[in-house]
Amino acid sequence: MRNVIIAGNWKMYKTQAEALEFLQGFMTQLDVTPDDREIVLCVPFTTLVSLSQNLHGSRIRLGAQNVHWETAGAYTGEIAAPMLTEIGVRYVIVGHSERRQYFGETDETVNLRLKTAQQASLTPILCVGETKQQRDANETESLIFSQLKKGLVGVDQTNLVIAYEPIWAIGTGDTCEATEANRVIGLIREQLTNPNVSIQYGGSVKPENVDEIMAQPEIDGALVGGASLQPGSFARIVNFQ
């Protein structure tokens, strides 16, 4: 059984006050959300504690946006897995393209982070995807297969989510065609040893295109940036038809 998982990625947005305001508007719209959908909010570190306190008894799961591979140490600016699990975090995004592009994340560090997350019983959401240039050069498949091969060495595929996020579709409003996302996700699945890994699509998912995306047979969920910041639009996305 592949779980349906809709995750919001707030990136570097929202103070604690703004996060709580979001929650008030969002929670009331979940009465109609089918039970079999997992809803995750991946928020800034500063917001995790107050959201955790306010999500008690709710069906929303908390996620972080990064985790270091050591459980403690002299790593200024990083966060360790026990610091996340202590406050009830269940998921963590690993290898987001913005981390790879702006902060020097490599397949090797992605691999280390994935394994540490799993050892702490966090479920990592591994992001893979190609740039526009790589797509135009017909390198989409080889790049993604290489990201998977290097990233997944020694990783337990029974506690893993993958997000296919074509970089050219992130924050651009330029969504990948639903059928093309479905094709690539099918190819990703063929590379895995566990056929039940949930694979999300991410990149300009919004209320207007979520129904078509989620209707694709290979797509098990969505990783949503910009459209997860407003209660109304994220509620419409988790309540996809």
Q: Which range touches ligand PGA (CB under 6 A), out of 74-82, 135-143, 182-190, 196-204? A: 196-204
Pick the catalytic residue from 38, 96, 98, 105: 96
* CA atoms of 70 and 73, how far apart (whole Å): 7
Q: Does 95 bind ligand PGA (CB under 6 A)?
A: no
If binding is defined by CB under 6 A, does position 170 make contact with ligand PGA? yes
Restricted to residues 200-239, the positions that interact with ligand PGA (CB under 6 A) are: 202-205, 223-227
- Measured between alpha carbons, how far is residue 57 from residues 30, 53, 204 in Å? 13, 10, 30
Whether 16 and 10 have beta carbons less than 8 Å apart is answered as no
d(CA 162, CA 195): 12
Q: What distance in Å separates the CA atoms of residue 184 and residue 171, rounded to the nearest whole number?
A: 20
Total residues at interface with ligand PGA (CB under 6 A): 13
Asked if residue 130 binds ligand PGA (CB under 6 A), the reply is no
d(CA 88, CA 85): 5
Closest approach, Cβ 75 to ligand PGA, in A, equals: 24
Distances (CA, A) of 216 to 184, 199, 206, 220: 12, 12, 16, 8
Give the one residue of 4, 6, 9, 51 binding ligand PGA; rule: CB under 6 A.
9
165 is catalytic: yes
**Between 44 and 54, CB nearer to ligand PGA:** 44
Q: Given the rule CB under 6 A, which residues bind ligand PGA?
A: 9, 165, 170-171, 202-205, 223-227
What residues act catalytically? 96, 165
